[in-house]
Structure 1
Amino acid sequence: MTTLTTAAAALWRGATYPLRSSTPVVHFSFHKNLTKYYNRVAETFAYATGRQRAHFNSNITTFAQAQPQLDMASVNNHFVDLAQLSNAPRASLFVRDPRDLVVSGYFYHKRGAEKWCHMVDPAPEDWRHVNSAVPPQMRQGESFTDCLNRLPLAEGLMAEIAFRTHHFDAMAQWLASPPSDLLILRYEDILGNEPAAFEALAAHYGFNRAERALWRRIAGGYAATKSLSKHVRNPSSGQWHDVFPPQVATAFNDSFSDLMEFSGYD
């Protein structure tokens, strides 16, 4: 238990308005898009206020089964039809330029930051927990990290794009016709502006005055610009301009033209 978690719980117990709001909350995002930061804030807030919360990574089946019984839930890399959620939660979605997601993911997976990156000869079911495809660039006897370290930059980026195809299809589904009651926040509008961004989330979630104050305090304590430093190589927006060779940029736009149109990233 962190010092901030303990302090948040103590602050809540001493709040002038300790009654908590009852509307359930769901949050959606994508790998390399402030997922760890949001989860730190939400987990600390849930603990302090006595809420039942869980993050399901990319396990959409478990999310669908458990979400109706939870106060707060989150899942990554999937589209979810909000109308099918029986408890009518308040929903939020973080999005980021998908080309920056490719760059961030490429360097993250190339250094083998997670155990599954080192799995040799993965089958599609082995990567279901990250909702990702096995790139055709992978050779027999290789892990994803091995593959990315073998390939030159352009081919490695294409392998990362293939790996994230399901993620980008899900993002396009979200953005093609977003529900009116879904709060969408962009990565570049959050980073460095966490107080305003998380205040917008608190208002959208229907938190009361005491909850909003606590939520903001926790978000400030875990300021993304601080917590990202050990997890992310480069948190800046638009880095794809410096990394994508021209042929990769063209191939991406050709493959995901709908996503680029829906997302508004040019």
Structure 2
Amino acid sequence: MTAPPQLLAYFGHHKCASTWVHNIVGTLCDDAGWRCAYLANEGMFEGDLPGWLAAHPTEFLCYVNADMTQLEPLRGSYRGFHMVRDPRDILASAYFSHKHSHQTGAWPELVQHRARLQQLDAHEGLMLELDFNADVFAEMERWDFEQPDVLELKMERFTTDPLNQWLAVFRHLGMADEGHYGKRQAAAFLWKSCLNVAHRHAHLPTRRQLASLPMERCLGVVHDHRFETKTGGRGEGTEDVKSHYRKGVAGDWVNHFSAEHVAEFKRRYNGLLLKLGYEQDADWGLPGGRA
């Protein structure tokens, strides 16, 4: 049995492609025989992440609403990557997702919030999202962007150039073997991955943990999860407001914000926007001075 030398991790935030990332990571963990934990909120680990990990051996952690407060006791024990997104696009995406498509099973607060959104027009709904996503932006504000073992990424580059961005992730994590895989090595990998998938999904005692995966397989899984595949052939930029994969393009906030939204966003979250580098000038506004 072999495994990564330290905990591997993905750290995300709400509406920052976490479902897409987890699907890719989960598929690769199945192949490798690694245990992948998907944690979306403190309730899933009772507010004690170190204790939960000690009780639930894990090779890859997907902490999709990452709070630095919970990770402080674990510093130095993980190697991972962290993704952010333009907070204005988070708001626009969250509005449609919360109104139409996001699952409510593990998020009872969303049921009441969705009911309110259904009663409001888009302008007032976006205003409501400024309040509802306050915790998301607070977690992004608290994040330590100087961790040496954490690769910092922006969703905008990740989704427009996924193969190269994932290549950087796999290299940073050390989870991919870039050597040549001949027929014998490929057959051995396929056999072990089949045993691992059987262990994961049929609970058979067949796990054969791998230390790494062929890079060809890693990038192949990324290709399998491209936007068009997830949407049944709909291309990026073509909108379906009721789909979890609504549009797939960056900068869509400009199509939904009014001058009033801009003013309120700047009052509450302008510091975060500048910190993340999505604007250089605090006095930004709508393109062309549009009201």
**TM-score, length-normalised on structure 2?**
0.70
Residue 48 of structure 1 corresponds to 31
Residue 136 of structure 2 corresponds to 167
Deviates more, 1:178-187 or 1:237-246: 178-187
Structure 2 portions without partners, runs of 5+: 178-211, 235-242, 280-291
Residue 115 of structure 1 corresponds to 104
What is the DSSP-based 3-state SS (H/G/I as helix, E as strand, rest coil) of the residue aligned with 1:67?
A: helix
Separation in 2, partners of 1:150, 1:83: 41
Separation in 2, partners of 1:172, 1:87: 21
What is the DSSP-based 3-state SS (H/G/I as helix, E as strand, rest coil) of the residue aligned with 2:77?
A: coil
The alpha carbon displacement at 1:83 in A equals 4.7
Residue 180 of structure 1 corresponds to 148
1:260 matched to 2:269? The reply is no
* Alpha-carbon contact 1:191-1:225 (below 8 Å) kept: no
Instruction: Pick closer, same or farther for the CA change 1:252–1:219 going to 2, 3 Å.
Output: same
Separation in 1, partners of 2:168, 2:62: 17
CA displacement, residues 178-213 of structure 1 (integer Å, 9 cap, x when unaligned):
323221111110113111111111111112416233
What is the DSSP-based 3-state SS (H/G/I as helix, E as strand, rest coil) of the residue aligned with 1:115?
A: coil
Aligned AA (1:65): G
Residue 189 of structure 2 corresponds to none
Instruction: Pick closer, same or farther for the CA change 1:218–1:66 going to 2, 3 Å.
Output: farther
Residue 4 of structure 1 corresponds to none
Separation in 1, partners of 2:253, 2:8: 33
Instruction: Pick closer, same or farther for the CA change 1:253–1:226 going to 2, 3 Å.
Output: farther
1:201 matched to 2:169? The reply is yes
The alpha carbon displacement at 1:61 in A equals 5.8
Aligned AA (2:216): A
Separation in 1, partners of 2:277, 2:225: 29
Residue 14 of structure 1 corresponds to none
Q: Find the partner of 2:52 among 34, 50, 66.
A: 66
Instruction: Pick closer, same or farther for the CA change 1:61–1:84 going to 2, 3 Å.
Output: farther
The CA RMSD measured in Å over matched residues stands at 2.6
The alpha carbon displacement at 1:23 in A equals 2.7
Deviates more, 1:177-186 or 1:154-163: 177-186
Separation in 2, partners of 1:87, 1:53: 19
Separation in 1, partners of 2:176, 2:116: 49
Residue 88 of structure 1 corresponds to 77
Instruction: Pick closer, same or farther for the CA change 1:255–1:190 going to 2, 3 Å.
Output: same
The alpha carbon displacement at 1:263 in A equals 0.6
Deviates more, 1:97-106 or 1:28-37: 28-37
The alpha carbon displacement at 1:154 in A equals 2.3
1:1-266 aligned within 5 A: 21-59=4-42, 62=45, 63-68=49-54, 69-80=57-68, 82-85=71-74, 88-111=77-100, 113-115=102-104, 126-127=108-109, 143-174=112-143, 177-209=145-177, 211=213, 212-227=215-230, 230-266=243-279
Structure 1 portions without partners, runs of 5+: 1-17, 120-125, 131-141
Instruction: Kindly tell me the number of residue pairs found equivalent between the two proteins.
Output: 228
Aligned AA (2:65): N
* Alpha-carbon contact 2:230-2:245 (below 8 Å) kept: no
Separation in 1, partners of 2:154, 2:103: 25
The alpha carbon displacement at 1:144 in A equals 1.4
Separation in 2, partners of 1:155, 1:61: 32
Separation in 2, partners of 1:91, 1:25: 5
Larger Rg: 2
Separation in 2, partners of 1:168, 1:233: 21
Separation in 2, partners of 1:47, 1:116: 25
Aligned AA (1:115): T
* Alpha-carbon contact 1:102-1:160 (below 8 Å) kept: yes
How many percent identity over aligned positions? 21
Aligned AA (2:264): A
Separation in 1, partners of 2:22, 2:272: 26
